[in-house]
Amino acid sequence: MAVLNSLLKNRIITGFTIGALVFSCMILGGKFLLGLLIVFIIIASKEYVDILKNKGFLPFFKVILVISISMMLISASGYNNLIPIVLLAGIIASFLAVLFRGRQPYIANVATTILGFLIAWMPCHVCLIRNMGNDVTLFNITFKQGLYFLLFIFFVILLTDIAAYFFGIKFGKHQLSPVISPKKTVEGAVAGGVFAVITGLIIGKLIGISIYHSFILSLIVTVMAQLGDLSESLIKRDAGVKDSGHSLPGHGGFLDRADSYLFSVPVAYYYIKYFILSGLSFPVITELIKKVLYVITG
């Protein structure tokens, strides 16, 4: 019991410290947020490479790092149209690195290198969200509307993680994914989703998002957060490691702490961009699908 309390204490202290740092950088934006994300990419990329070494794969850390930081800088600068060019350069570089370094197994090293910077591409959407929307003035401070959306995502994920963790410990009986992550439970996942949606509805009301969009966006974020968590567990489980690292007491590594953001942030970005800000609706998508099917079927 004493050991459990000590681990829980470390988890709470570390979580609060990291959360306060991330929250502050989101508010400040600009170079503060960019600096935080670059530090995360450097450490998380190293953790990713170390995890896969346990599996016998040798992804190229330098290629992952250069492409990942390039994408982050481009995203922060607003030149999103250059991202496909950087991704193409990364794919070519991954093949060339294997061709001229002669590592075995060849295909696996190319694939894991590409996967490395594709994973790092997802946090780039944090900058994209922070810079989106119109200017908003609050207490004589002007910032982009994207800050509201970023805080929405932050608190929805926070409540997802907290509720899933504590309800899973207290009431969890049915394993969510016995093979991949046996400690996660259906009860914890459901509780995380419920608290996330409630949080999203409250924050959405405060920042002026309709109940309809608040509900869907919070549901998207909590589902993607839990899938991101499971996906990172899949990589670790396959490589035979428990944590991605040991730099964060009670949480493991940086990838362990940020896995909930990997899928949720980019998916939320596209929902906000096309459905909330651009006014795209599901009936429009339905009509578009019908037209595409009509063209395909003749």
- The mean pLDDT value for 173-196 works out to 86
pLDDT of residue 227: 93
The residue that leads in pLDDT, 86 or 133, is: 86
| 165-184 mean pLDDT | 81
Q: What is the pTM of this model?
A: 0.87
- Angle separating helix axes 146-171 and 186-207, nearest 10 degrees: 150
Higher pLDDT, 292 or 91: 91
Asked whether the predicted pLDDT for residue 290 surpasses 90, the reply is no
Integer angstrom CA distances of residue 48 from 42, 62, 131, 201, 210: 10, 12, 28, 35, 39
pLDDT tens figures, 243-255? 777 776 666 778 8
* Beta carbons within 10 angstroms of residue 5's beta carbon: 9
pLDDT over 70 percentage in the chain: 89
Looking at residue 134, what is its pLDDT?
83
Residue in 280, 107, 134, 118 with CA at minimum distance from that of residue 207: 134
pLDDT at 31: 93
Kindly provide the residue ranges of all beta strands, DSSP E only, lying in the chain, ordered along the sequence.
135-138, 141-144, 175-177, 181-185
Q: How is residue 253 annotated by DSSP?
A: S
Whether the per-residue pLDDT at 25 is higher than 80: the answer is: yes
Q: Which domain holds residue 249?
A: 2-297
Which pLDDT does position 271 carry in this prediction? 95
The b/e string for 145-171 (b: 16+ C-beta within 10 A; e otherwise) is bbbbbbbbbbbbbbbbbbbbbbbbeee
Does the pLDDT at position 286 exceed 80?
A: no
Q: Residue 260 and residue 243: Cα distance in Å, rounded?
A: 15
Query: What DSSP character marks residue 276?
Result: I
Give the three-state DSSP class for 248: strand
Average of per-residue pLDDT values in the chain? 87
In three-state secondary structure terms, 18 is helix
Q: Is 143 exposed, middle or buried (0-12, 13-18, 19+ CB in 10 A)?
A: middle
| Mean pLDDT confidence for 212-220 | 95
Per the structure, the count of domains in the chain is: 1
